[in-house]
Chains A and B, each alone.
Chain A
Amino acid sequence: MQKAFLVDGSICLGCNTCAMACKNQYHQDDGILWRKVREIGAEDYLMDNNNILPTLTSYQKAPKVKMPMERFYFSLACNHCENPACVAICPVGAHTKDPETGICKHDQTICIGCGGCVKACPFGASKFNTKMGQAEKCSMCWERQADGKTTACVQSCPVHAITIIDLHDPKYKEYANASPIGIDYAINAETHPSTRFILPHMPKEVYRQAKG
């Protein structure tokens, strides 16, 4: 089984509820977000102003689509990759991949704060907490899931734009190899990230006032 986030950009409001729900659950230190809502902007949308995803540009295949600012979004946390770089690089085994769920877990009681995972993750999912001298990242709320609840982000989304799917379930086959706008870097990455996206689209009819 490989649990995966399915993010529906066609209905995502960009409201950031998911990211704040994560803070609400885990009280990440000020300045740290495990989940981040990113704007799908114009042709430069892979450019992340906050420099959270510096490595993304190396996968850049963004098409030149002009879309309005601050209107289309995708929400991204840890991709819980099938072949996670964090697990491979962690020298003390603080990162593990759950064989049953496919969730990449990080154990802070073991983490020595070497920062290897932060450097290795192509998606910037692992964050370095300078106060603690340790790494931290999205756990896909495995404790909540074990308790019969869904993740904080999924529960909180007012329009169900995030859901959790099993990438290996034939039901979700169409998403397993989907290659959405600008996100194909993810699927082609060696780590085989699991997050899947449904593309946003403009309203069928948009009328704007003539200039002046």
Chain B
Amino acid sequence: MSYSKEKVESILNNGISRRSFLKGLAASGVLSSLPGGILQANEDLNTKIPYLGQKNYQTFRNACPRNCYDTCSIKTYVKDGVMQFIEGATESTYTRGGCCVKGNSYVKRVYSARRLKFPMMQVGGKGSGNWKRVSWDYAMETIAKKLLEMKKEDGTLLGAALTKYSGNFGITHYGVEGMFNSIGYTTRLAGTPCWPAGIDAQNLDMGDMWCNDPEEMKDSKFIILWGVNPASNSVHSMKYIYEAKSKGAKVVVIDPVFTEAASKASQYIQIKTGTDGLLALGMAKIIIDANLHDQKWLDANSKGYKEYKAYLDKEIKLDNVSKITGIPLAMIKELALSFVKAKPATIWMGYGMQRHTNGGSMIRAIDALVAVSGNIGKYAGGARYGHLSTWGFNYAALSQTKPEGSVGYTGPEGAKGEFAQVGGEKAAYTDRFLNINKTARELLNAKEPKVRLLWVACKNVFSQDFDRNQLIRAFQQLDLVVVADQFFNETVKWADIVLPVATQFEEYDVNVSYWHYWLSLNEQAIKPLFEVKSDVEIAALLSKHMNKLEAGSCTFPQSVDTKAMTIKEFNPGIYEQFGIKSWEELKNGSVKAKAVIPYADGKFKTPSGKFEFYSDKALELFGSALPTYLEVRKPYDKFRMTSPHSRWSLHSQFQNLEWMEDMHPEPYVYINPDDAEAKMVKEGDTVAVFNKQGLLRVKAKVTDNVQAGTVLMYEQWYNNNIYNVNELVDDTSSDMGAFKTGAPGVALHDTFVNFRKL
């Protein structure tokens, strides 16, 4: 089946009415029992069309805005207004003509019968499944009325809360925050579940989170992939790792899991989960004891090296390091010495490692190891974690003024999240910030005023947040839950109003990565399908309805064009950084920022201006100035459960698509053979995995890719499958995160479970 113009038109025009029973329902406004029914597009049969030759397509520039290292530059092929296929843009040496398995499913994402198509209201109450199709005007008027009513009754709009995160990192999507900025002072679920402990750690050490260009890894002589699995989650980075390897570099993977990347490395070292920081401290001690550390660089560029060395001398016993990490001492010594002798050498730290109660301290310990080895500020070196150095947009969609007379929060101010660091003017009031990583309890506990309205955008709360039972309670006590999304996901089930959102192919936008250094324009390639609208168009519509009911109640523009909105995000700084004169040059393909080696000038944005082994800020915030060993969370059940990212999805996106199901139809729990034998579980058995939080039924795969005492289940959201790994995860915080992103991270991988055969 391919998507021809006729087919798409028939879906658009007749998708509902051609089925008489649905026609009746739609005409009379009677409820459909299942949203799936009203959403079902007609999947007509159509013979395949072959590739028709370059000249027969219109091409557009797009970019993948999902939360991924690779942020691919896309070239979209359109015929008669219908997307035919996409390719990775060849202009980007990073994307190099290919997308990943997820990106290649975009045509299905756009034309999937499962897409949300119209605004709908759940009139039988949250979770009832009684949905009614409504007009955009009706939906937005309902929301506007509610907001104004709340403002009148509470004297403030702090009862309106926004939770938005990484479903779409396109810059204009900060217009969602802009929409909330433009109605007054509101409540925000702040922080990030992704990488906060590591961001804090790197900021304490270096005053920034700023990594070398990943393309440089091709020239590294020694690469440690530490708790990161690019073979699944950053496939385009693998070519640089392979290139380095083919030129003689050693590639070592340190991970509790024998990952896909580990299977392609020179050496794999399995470490006991949560002991990585200690290994790094041990390696640093070995390097210093062998007098192979870079004393010259340390003297010139670091603060507190003496205290750090004293700590290593006094507290770090190598026999203990070996015992606790489970790695033979000889292997640790060989690793440390070969790492320090290879120049340049680099370490890439994954975001899983910091999802522990000692996560931030582990990243600090590894930063310190790289510093000791003299690889910070060097080409093809660096302590790699991520960067936001190419994110200097105007955030025009975000920066809105408050309506006159807005009343807000007078408590202590929190940070606003790591991506959009442009603040409004300093005022007597602020927004109220709740911890996004404890969404359920924060929504339940917020008082004066209590949260009454929740807007969810770019986020699947029920798949991504923790403690499902509490979440249901929290959602049910809200007067109005609005979810703007592309698919009927778990969060939509608990919404009152659902608004269908455009894909990136239906709007203009601009994208950069937190890993590589490319900038991509996202053009509107096709007209929006059905009644979908972009997030900023929704904001404009809300503004129109609020102002109609009460003039001046919302400052967001009342009509927007995503192209104009995108153009407003550019500034001379961006042009200078990327070496272009106008945004229009991006129509010819992505461009890369001018090469800069982070910290090559020895300038760090720390209070001392140096790399800080000893950080006063760390002492003040976390009680330890030095990167020290901190024990990981104590088990509260029989087996540790880790829930890393899968290659099939980006958090809860993509796995739900029909095409993805052809390759990966169901979830599994991966169990070590020893544990499986003890529990009499065989490959393919259905097991119950359970703990104090909840229970999941899932099929077993038996493999020593995971170590004994550990089970692994990927974080994913399936269509029509109740699997959700976060049902087992509590909201225990990691050690760091509150410094830069407003809230600590979550110790996701410090989850403990038991299991048995069903």
Contacts and interface: CB of A to CB of B under 8 A. Distances in A.
A200 B263 CA distance: 9
B722 interface: no
Interface string B83-109: 001111000000011111110111110
A158 B98 contact: yes
A100 interface: no
A72 B263 contact: yes
Given A20-B101, A205-B267, A68 B647 contact: no
Contacts of B704: 68, 208
A36 B85 CA distance: 19
B101 A19 contact: yes
Interface stretch (B48-56, B175-183, B501-509): B48-56
B703 A13 contact: no
B40 to A, nearest CB: 14
B231 interface: yes
Given A13-B235, A70-B703, A71-B705, A23 B105 contact: yes
A131 B328 CA distance: 59
B104 A71 contact: no
A177 interface: no
Contacts of A148: 54
Interface stretch (B341-349, B657-665, B739-747): B657-665
Contacts of B472: none
Interface in A30-53: 30-33, 37
Given A23-B104, A30-B658, A17 B235 contact: yes
A16 interface: yes
A26 interface: yes
Interface residues of B, number: 70
A205 B703 CA distance: 19
Interface string A126-146: 000001100010010101100
B556 to A, nearest CB: 36
Q: Which of B97, B105, B108, B236 has the most CB of A within 10 A?
A: B97
B260 interface: yes
Contact of B1 (A109, A131, A155): A131
A105 to B, nearest CB: 10
A30 B662 contact: yes
B662 A32 contact: yes
A33 B238 contact: no
Nearest to A134: B47
B232 interface: yes
B264 interface: yes
Contact of A206 (B238, B258, B709): B258
A26 B242 contact: no
B263 A209 contact: no
B327 A207 contact: yes
Q: Which of A37, A141, A203 has the most CB of B within 10 A?
A: A203
B41 interface: no
Contact of A68 (B85, B108, B658, B703): B703
Given A31-B662, A205-B268, A26 B327 contact: no
A110 B357 CA distance: 64
Contacts of B658: 30
A145 B106 CA distance: 23
Given A30-B659, A70-B705, A206-B268, A147 B47 contact: no
Contacts of A147: 51, 53-54
Given A24-B105, A147-B54, A131 B45 contact: yes
B331 interface: yes
Contacts of A16: 101, 647-648, 663-664
A200 B265 CA distance: 12
A149 B99 CA distance: 16
Given A21-B104, A27-B3, A13 B238 contact: yes
Nearest to A37: B663
A143 B238 contact: no
Contact of A212 (B271, B659, B709): B709
A23 B450 CA distance: 49
A1 interface: no
B2 A27 contact: yes
A25 B266 contact: no
Given A132-B47, A156-B99, A202-B263, A11 B701 contact: no
A198 interface: no
Interface string A174-212: 000000000000000000000000001011111111111
A212 B677 CA distance: 13
Q: Which of A10, A13, A26, A108 has the most CB of B within 10 A?
A: A13
Given A16-B647, A204-B266, A159 B235 contact: yes
A157 interface: yes
A15 interface: yes
Contacts of B48: 26-28, 108, 136
Q: Which of A33, A72, A159, A211 has the most CB of B within 10 A?
A: A159
Contacts of B327: 207
A53 B541 CA distance: 54
Contacts of B647: 14-16
Interface in B39-80: 45, 47-48, 50-54
A169 interface: no
Contacts of A25: 51, 85
B456 interface: no
B104 A24 contact: yes
A40 to B, nearest CB: 11
B704 to A, nearest CB: 7
A160 B265 CA distance: 17
A32 B662 CA distance: 7
B101 A203 contact: no
Contacts of B659: 20, 23, 30
A68 B263 contact: yes
A132 B44 CA distance: 11
B266 A205 contact: yes
Contacts of A32: 662
B1 A108 contact: no
Interface string A58-101: 00000000001111100000000000000000000000000000
Q: Which of B96, B253, B662 has the most CB of A within 10 A?
A: B662
B260 A71 contact: yes
B242 A159 contact: yes
Contacts of B696: none
B403 interface: no
A156 B270 contact: no
A17 B51 contact: no
Contacts of B270: 207-209
B707 A13 contact: no
A14 B259 CA distance: 12
A156 B1 contact: no
A149 B85 CA distance: 14
Given A30-B658, A32-B662, A212 B88 contact: no
A158 B236 contact: yes
B272 interface: yes
Contact of A203 (B51, B264, B326, B702): B264
B111 to A, nearest CB: 9
B232 A15 contact: yes
Given A141-B51, A209-B270, A158 B100 contact: yes
Nearest to A151: B51
Nearest to A25: B85
Q: Which of B96, B101, B326 has the most CB of A within 10 A?
A: B101
B674 interface: yes
Nearest 4 interchain pairs by C-beta: A20-B104, A71-B263, A27-B2, A156-B98
Given A27-B107, A32-B662, A212-B709, 12 more contacts: A13-B238, A15-B101, A30-B659, A108-B47, A155-B88, A156-B87, A158-B239, A203-B253, A206-B258, A207-B267, A207-B270, A209-B270
Interface of A: 10-11, 13-17, 19-21, 23-33, 37, 68-72, 108-109, 131-132, 136, 139, 141, 143-144, 147-149, 152, 155-160, 200, 202-212
11 contacts: A14-B647, A17-B101, A68-B258, A68-B705, A70-B701, A72-B263, A155-B97, A155-B98, A204-B266, A207-B327, A211-B674
